[in-house]
Chain A
Amino acid sequence: MKKNKLSNKSENNHQNIKEDQLAYAQTLEKFLNVGMVFIVVSFAIYIFQIYPANLPLEKSIEYLTMRATEYARLTEAPMGWAWIHQMNKSDIISFSSIVFIGMISFITYLRVFSLYLLKQNTTFAVLAFFQLLIFIVSALGLYISH
């Protein structure tokens, strides 16, 4: 009897592993496909100059030998999330597609975090929560001193 209980528990655990892993994979795949299309389309908009850029391509290339801080100072490039106010510029649209790629892991972690809460798997819910916190800290630039 005890053996059966253990066996059932083990089977349930196995199912849980499969479920969270599959949920992660499926969510990742969906958003990655969207992200790839977004990257290609927005980059085409940028290089074919369909919309004006915040910093023209020729100018942008000129400053690429510099450090990022120097580049940002000279070109007045938006820091942090300031780019969001310039979404009508082609270089910023292209940049936002990279930001989207950077958000995919956050979205997939949200998916498994909710799954762990639903399944009352506290340990992994806590671990996923801390990972989400790290993503938020890095994405919001909460460490940026300037």
Chain B
Amino acid sequence: MDEKLNKRLPYSVPDGFFDVMEDNVMAKIKADAGINVGGDKADTQMRDKQYRKTTTHTRTISLSILAMAASLLLLFTIFSQSTKTVQQANGMESIDMAFSQLNTDDQAFLMEIYDDDMFLDDATAVY
């Protein structure tokens, strides 16, 4: 009966596969036993350590730059706000001073003009 059955398989393997498999097994056995295989494990550990060190440094530098930028932005915002307030105050004071130096008729004339000035009203409006 057996002569009717063929032992040929429809399967194959890549060239040099069995040597690769043997090397893989030996490497795994050594790795499991904690033995360095040609320094590979030591190299990997060193690379991991360097990667972690570099990552930590990069993170520290990034955070420092971010903190400095935030501080500068805060300072600039506070400074620009205070300058604006002083400028606004200076502008109003000088106008008030000039206005007070006018005689009564001129003051009345200006008040009459600016009371009807729609653009002057818009300029003071708050949006």
Query: Are A and B associated in one complex?
Result: no
